[in-house]
Amino acid sequence: MNTSTIPARALSCSPRANGNSDKLAALFARGFAEAGGNIEVTLMRQYEVRPCVSCYRCQHDPNGWCFLEGTDRSAPLFSMLHEAPALFFAAPVFFYHLPAMFKAFIDRGQSYWLRREAGDVRLLSLPRRTAWVALVAGRKKGEHIFDGSLLTLRYFLAAFNITLAEPLLLAGYDGPDDIANDPTTCARVLEYGGNAARAMFDGQAMAVNQ
């Protein structure tokens, strides 16, 4: 069982309240907790994140900091990426990609990429961790619906030594209650959360024994 006081994080990254992404985050957290994990749910829409303006001031700042960081609530979200022992992201797919609010947060990761490339000790020394992800699309079919979102997430999270687990990709869920009304999918997400907790415990045990 995880004895860490720092919880894993399940982030719902949809602008819509009480929709499919919120349900996915709640189900994942329930499965994770039932397997013995310590986890908290975070609603990204409650955190104002100003978009990157591509000014590259962070490249010239002695500490590599983004000048926008003190003007919004992005810092607590980035702290989660630094500290959480495991993460889960639930997000809808809009026009073959992540919603604008989530993408704005990802774009603000530019300063972290630059810091890592410059040899930032804190970023380079972060432990290897895993992020689990569930993406939900209203379309029932279509080529490459999830590809762009997954590619963006993979490279964004790599700056924090976080690797994507095999994702849970759900197509054909558009109404806000579609996930909640599908018991088979709900069971899959609960199992996904439980598997994530067990994988985290296995990784922690391996690290202790090395």
Assigned domain for 191 exists: yes
Assigned domain for 125 exists: yes
CA 154 to chain centre: 10
Residue 108 has φ and ψ, to the nearest 5°, of -70, -10
Residue 130 has φ and ψ, to the nearest 5°, of -125, 140
Assigned domain for 108 exists: yes
Domain CATH number, residue 139:
3.40.50.360
Assigned domain for 1 exists: no
- pTM for the structure as a whole: 0.93
Assigned domain for 117 exists: yes
pLDDT reported for residue 209? 43
Assigned domain for 55 exists: yes
pLDDT reported for residue 63? 86
Assigned domain for 31 exists: yes
Domains: count for the chain: 1
Q: Measuring CA to CA, how many Å separate 51 from each of 34, 48, 108, 147, 185? A: 37, 10, 7, 23, 34
Per-residue pLDDT tens digits of the chain, which is 210 residues long? 444 689 999 999 999 999 999 999 999 999 999 999 999 999 999 999 999 999 999 999 988 899 998 899 999 999 999 999 999 999 999 999 999 999 999 999 999 999 999 999 999 999 999 999 999 999 988 889 999 999 999 999 999 999 999 999 999 999 999 999 999 999 999 999 999 999 999 876 544 444
Q: Give the structural domain span for 36.
A: 8-209
Assigned domain for 123 exists: yes
User: Nearest 5 degrees, angle CA 79-CA 100-CA 104?
Assistant: 40
